[in-house]
Amino acid sequence: MGGEQKEHAVVVVDGDCRRQRTYRCMISTHPGLNLLWVAGSYDEALQLLEENSSCVMVIDLALADGDALELIRVVERRRSDMRVVAVAGQFDARKALAAFAAGARGYVLRDSELVNVAEAAVQVAQGYSPLDPLVAGYVLAELRRLGSKAESKERLDAPLTRREREVLCLLVKGLAYGEVANTLGLSINTVCSHIKNIYRKLGVRSRSEAVYEVMAAGVRDVYI
What is the number of residues in the chain? 224
Closest among 69, 64, 74, 58 to 92, alpha carbons compared: 69
Say if residues 185 and 117 touch (Cβ distance below 8 Å). no
Q: What single-letter DSSP state applies at residue 4?
A: P
Angle at 2 between CA 6 and CA 82, to 5 degrees: 30
Residue 24 to residue 36: CA distance in whole angstroms: 10
Residue 140: CB partners within 8 Å, gap ≥ 6?
169, 172, 173
**Neighbour-count burial of 79, counting CB atoms closer than 10 A to its CB (0-12 exposed, 13-18 middle, 19+ buried):** middle
98-136 per-position pLDDT tens digit: 888 888 988 999 887 666 899 999 999 988 888 888 777
Question: What ranges do the domains of the chain cover?
Answer: 8-130, 135-223
Specify the CATH number for 135-223; select among 3.90.1150.10, 1.10.10.10, 3.40.50.10470, 2.70.180.20: 1.10.10.10
pLDDT at 214 over 80: no
32-43 per-position pLDDT tens digit: 999 999 999 999
CA 11 to chain centre: 16
Query: Average pLDDT in the 155-183 region?
Result: 79
127-158 per-position pLDDT tens digit: 888 888 877 777 777 666 655 554 444 444 46
Residue 95 parent element (H or E): helix 93-102
Q: What is the pLDDT of residue 212?
A: 73
Angle at 211 between CA 58 and CA 185, to 5 degrees: 110
At the topology level, CATH places domain 8-130 in Rossmann fold (3.40.50)
Domains 8-130 and 135-223 belong to one CATH topology: no
